Structure 1
Amino acid sequence: MPVISLGLGLWQIQRLKWKTDLIAEYESRLVLPPLPMPPLVNPDVVKDFQYRRVTATGKFRHDLEMLIGPRSLEGEDGYQVVTPLERENGSTLLVNRGWIAKKVAEKTKRIEGLPLDEVTVEGILRIPAGRHTFSPDNEVDKGLFFYVDLDQMAAKSGAQPVMIEQFFEYADSDVLASWQELVRLGIPIGRDMKVNIRNNHGQYIVTWFGVSLVTAIMLVVLRRRPASEGMLKQRHMRRYM
């Protein structure tokens, strides 16, 4: 156990460096000027543009809206809203507009959050996390998704299997009041302009090295402990058998 946990600790050091370098690379992309999305996007190259700021102009197809959930925010249940953005060139992209509360999931309850005019969306490109082990099947016909499946969403909406995660900026200096008003109106609360990647490898390093140290001490103690009377009798019997 001391050797195995020591090896895991050393491996986590390598993982920490990899994750730190990755986050630094993504953060450097966020400060670059946004790129206009081309008419057609090759989904295979999105991985090379993760966390790159992009813009796209068009009209939202609210009739083809899809919900991802349940998702909670500040302790309140809700959904992520994905709406196809139809552009003048005829192409359509998927836009994750952000979070809405469950109580305004019906579109009739959030008219203010359904813009009909042409809009320019700014956000980032990112490959969404896939299906978890216990995720149920998506109810594609109902437009309800428990996990993001770009191929299913693209097939349902006629969009390219590429998603922009839209940024959101509070217009009010009072963030709490602004947030409550957005929730009431059903205006989606988009993502922050930052890299949201967990980096727990430092904790894992401390844990595995700690396990290695503790088990090494236990091993030394056990090796130095005097043999019990029963063990001495067994050794004596083996010697004369």
Structure 2
Amino acid sequence: MEARQLWRPLAQPLARRPLSTLPHRTPQPPWIRQPSARNPPHRRHQSTPADDPLFKSIVDNPPQLIRSGRKHNYLGLALLVSIPATAFLLGCWQVKRLTWKSDLIAKFEDRLVREPLPLPPQIDPAAIKDFDYRRVYARGVLRHDQEMLIGPRIHDGQDGYLVVTPLERAAQYPAYPGNTTVLVCRGWIAKAKALQSSRLAPEQSLPRGEIVVEGLLREPWVKNSFTPDNRPERDAWYFPDVAQMAAHVGSQAVWVEETMKADLLAAYDRESKGVPIGRPPEVNLRNNHTQYIFTWFSLSLATSIMLWMVVKKPPSSIRARVRRDTAW
């Protein structure tokens, strides 16, 4: 009986045993993963996704089209294409301009080597274009009292004016009833010699009586937007407006540029005496179209190479722009 009582407490269920009689358990450290409902303890025969008949891997998903980014913007690409195309067209246009300018210079130079023509008493302004740069000569009297100075004009780095004087030819054509006066551009004088009283050697600077003027018949110029307007009431002339100047002095709208042989010593002597320095009998048209052709075609070639490099360049960091498919 005493032996039964001795072993009876050990036979009682654990639930009924007091806490003081439970065996002592050492607490687990916090870094050891504790089993829970979400984290059940490892089982030897736990099922894997491969055992699930409804399992699908990423290779079983249907293909999905994704956009990793276009290589170029159509508007930007069209702008890049227009640059070399426009430069090429401008180069072709300059080729035509070069041909036109070369033919024009050759035509004017051919007129310079011909004998000068006598200037008729009356000139049709519409026909002057066909006689541009044609050598002519006229006889008459210079009206120094109606002299006009166009300026400022630079000659060899010095400031000055162009001297324009009407040439009256009534005595040369006494039987002609119309107006025979024409405008003669005598050449350049220094600014210090603008006043007629300051010019030395009057027989050369201000010739009197009947003289013969030889020069080039020139077509009227076209005024640009940067040149100020002439002021005839103030006797201020900034641009050779042939029609306006002819109306101011009552002459024909005909412009003759007096020429002289290019001579440096003679030009210095004329400048010191106040004698107008005439222009040399040569064509002074600028012909820079060859440089323009080289510039435009070079620009077209360079931009074409740049366009080819942009089009052929592979897209950068394409992997970073591809969207992942994580539905698995």
Give yes or no for TM over 0.5. Answer: yes
Hey, what's the Cα distance between the residues in 1 that align with 2:234 and 2:222? 20
Aligned 8 A contact 1:70 1:146 in 2: yes
Conserved? CA contact 1:99–1:188, under 8 Å: yes
Whether the aligned pair in 2 keeps the contact of 1:83 and 1:97 (CA below 8 Å) is: yes
Does residue 113 of structure 1 match 2:205? yes
Q: 1:232 offset after TM fit, Å?
A: 6.4
Separation (CA, whole Å) in 1 of partners of 2:247 and 2:257:
19
Shift of 1:10: 0.9
Structure 2 unpaired stretches of 5+? 1-82, 174-178, 324-328
Q: Is the 8 A contact 1:130 1:147 kept in 2?
A: no
* 1:229 shift after superposition: 2.6
Counterpart in the other structure of 2:256:
164
Structure 1 residue aligned with 2:315: 227
Displacement after TM superposition at 1:176 (Å): 3.7
1:217 equivalent in alignment to 2:305: yes
Q: Which amino acid aligns with 1:162?
A: V
Aligned with residue 42 of structure 1, among 124, 140, 153: 124
Specify whether residues 66 and 53 from structure 1 end up closer, same or farther in structure 2 by C-alpha distance, changes over 3 A only: same
User: Alignment RMSD, CA only?
Assistant: 1.6
Deviation, 1:142, is 3.1
Q: Residue 131 of structure 1 contacts residue 147 of structure 1 at CA under 8 Å; is this kept in 2? A: yes
Which residue pairs with 1:91 in the alignment?
180
Q: Secondary structure at the match of 1:22?
A: helix
Superposition deviation, residue 67 in structure 1: 0.9
What SS does the aligned partner of 1:199 have? coil
Shift in alpha-carbon separation, 1:219–1:86, aligned structure 2, 3 A: same
Matches of 1:28 and 1:83 in 2, distance apart? 28
Q: How does 1:1-241 map to 2 (within 5 A)?
A: 1-87=83-169, 88=171, 89=173, 91-110=180-199, 111=202, 112-169=204-261, 175-229=263-317, 233=321, 236=322
Going by fraction, where is strand more abundant, 1 or 2?
1
Q: How far apart are the structure 2 equivalents of 1:105 and 1:18? A: 39
Distance 2:106 2:112 in 1: 10
Identity of aligned residues (%): 48
Partners of 1:78 and 1:102 within 8 A in 2: yes
How many residue pairs get aligned? The number is 231
Deviations 1:113-160 (A, max 9, x none): 111121100011111322121111102123321111111111111110
Instruction: Give the structure with higher Rg (CA).
Output: 2
Q: TM-score, normalised by structure 1?
A: 0.91
Matched residues in 2 for 1:133 and 1:102: separation?
A: 25
Q: Following TM superposition, by how much is the alpha carbon of 1:230 offset from its aligned partner in structure 2, in angstroms? A: 7.4
Q: Find the aligned partners of 2:132 and 2:99 in 1 and give their Cα distance.
A: 19
8 Å contact 1:182–1:189 — kept in the other structure? Answer: yes
Structure 1 CA distance for aligned equivalents of residues 119 and 265 of structure 2: 34
1:79 CA drift (Å):
0.6
For each residue in 1:56-77, what CA deviation from the matched residue of structure 2 results, as whole angstroms up to 9, or x when unmatched? 0001000000111110000000
- Of stretches 123-132 and 6-15 in structure 1, the one that deviates more from structure 2 is 123-132
Quick one: which amino acid aligns to residue 261 of structure 2? Answer: E
TM-score, structure 2 normalization: 0.68
Q: Which has the higher contact order (CA 8 A, sep 6+)?
A: 1
Residue deviations 1:73-131, cap 9 Å, x none? 00000011100000112620100000000010011111341111211000111113221
SS at match of 1:144: coil
Q: Which contiguous aligned blocks of 4+ residues in structure 1 show a shift greater than 3 angstroms?
A: none
Q: 1:28 and 1:231, CA in 2 relative to 1: closer, same or farther beyond 3 A?
A: farther
In structure 1, runs of 5+ residues without a counterpart are: none
